[in-house]
Amino acid sequence: MQLWYLINYAGIKGVFLSKRLGKVESYKLKELIFVLIILILLLSAAAIFIFREIVQIYILVGFFALFVIILISRYDFLLTLKEYERAVVFRFGRASRVGGPGWTFIIPVIESAKLVDLRTQTLDVKPQEVITVDKVVVTIDAVIYMFVKKENDAVMKSVLEIDDYRKGAEQFVVSSIRDAAGALTLSELISSVEKLNKEVKEKLEQITNSWGVSIEAVEIQNLTVPKQISDAFSEQKAAEQKKLARGELALAHGLEIDAVREAAEKLSDKALSYYYIRALERLGRGKSTKYLFPMELTQLASSLAGGHKNNANVEELFKKYAPAVKRILSEKKRPARRPAKKKAKRRK
């Protein structure tokens, strides 16, 4: 037991002595480094004093290089502009020139630049709810196609005359659509969408000309109508189409009747007689027991029954229809042929 206590005491004391010796060595190392730094500073001061003229030049060059590096890192002194880009350059706050396309040099601190895109820009106007004259709420969604003109004057105007020409054009279109659509009924609005597009475009062009911006088109993309009203419009259109279809059908029937009348007027008595005979032949071929006779035959029958005085007409009718009547009667008197029955063979 005592041996164990002696071992623990010796181990603890050894650890304490090692920590103490390590701290002493670290203190000595720090003192040595401090002395070396002091010596380097003294030698540098002596060298500067001895070679002060040369050192001054190097110091000035170093400060100038540091200043240039700061300017380059903080400011863009060289702009690379693409074919569709321009830069409005300001010098001491005043618009001095338009740069681009290609390289454009900017003097740091003195000059600044703002980029302008010359490509056609698509501006989607948010859907707007409009109340028509007949108190119907419709939703209108429009789109604007616009671009900045390539002339330097127009490029400067797009920056100097308005803060954001895109936002200005959008707000103007929204107000114009509300004013124009609010003065129309729903049916007038639906039928005059193209007219409304043209009207809004003309009004917008009058404003954007002073901004250096050109308007390609203003298009109303969607015109959303409540479902009940759209169903009523569909039924109305269907009824109109049915009315037109019936009118066209009646007109076609009228044309057909006129054509038959014209053809009948051109037929001669011989042609009519020929058609009568053909009709009688077809009736004779059938199995019907009823016959339809032309009006002239009925007149012939009445003449025979009542003793018609005009014998010339009667004789003429007899000559005309006698062959046809004989043929019909002869065909009706012929007995129908019965199919031959096969004799049954007797079995022996």
* pLDDT score for 244: 81
Question: Residues 233-292: pLDDT tens digits?
Answer: 667 777 777 778 788 888 887 887 877 777 767 666 666 666 666 766 676 666 655 555
User: Hey, where are the domains in the chain?
Assistant: 2-63, 78-117, 121-225, 231-266, 269-331
What does the CA dihedral 34, 39, 41, 47 come to, rounded to 10 degrees? -170
Question: Residues 201-236: pLDDT tens digits?
Answer: 999 999 999 999 999 999 988 888 877 776 666 677
pTM of the complete model beyond 0.75:
no
* pLDDT score for 19: 47
pLDDT over 90 (residue 324): no
Of residues 121 and 259, more confidently modeled? 121
Q: Are 143 and 135 in contact (CB under 8 A)?
A: no
* pLDDT score for 167: 93
Question: Nearest to residue 215, comparing CAs of 170, 174, 185, 263?
Answer: 170
Q: Are 141 and 193 in contact (CB under 8 A)?
A: no
Class of domain 121-225: alpha beta
